[in-house]
Amino acid sequence: MLIALIAHDKPGALQTRMDNRAAHLAYIEQSGVVQQAGPLLDQSGQMCGSLIILDVADMAAAEVWVAGDPYGHAGLFSSVTLTEWKRVIG
């Protein structure tokens, strides 16, 4: 099952993102369930959120993945949405 994770950072949290970026990227690498990922950008080109496509067994597994993300532990996000996604192109 493919799940789109869309997360928006809290306002003014760029330093929190930068401080935890290496741990977040390591978590993505070691988890083995991330198909695509990248930051959302604001109008000035600064990172302000995340879009991650997870390939997991079910929504519960996606929720477990989110719970383990270092960005979440750091309190980076103002919101996180998990939605089942269907790949059509790519």
Confidence category of residue 90, pLDDT binned at 50, 70, 90:
confident
pLDDT tens track for 55-85: 999 999 999 999 999 999 999 999 999 999 9
Domains and CATH numbers, the chain: 2-84 (3.30.70.1060)
Q: What is the pTM of this model?
A: 0.93
pLDDT tens digits for 20-36?
999 999 999 999 999 99
Give the pLDDT score at 80.
Answer: 98
Cα gap 29→7, rounded to integer Å: 19
- The two tokens of residue 26 are 């390591």
Q: Which residue has the higher pLDDT, 90 or 60?
A: 60
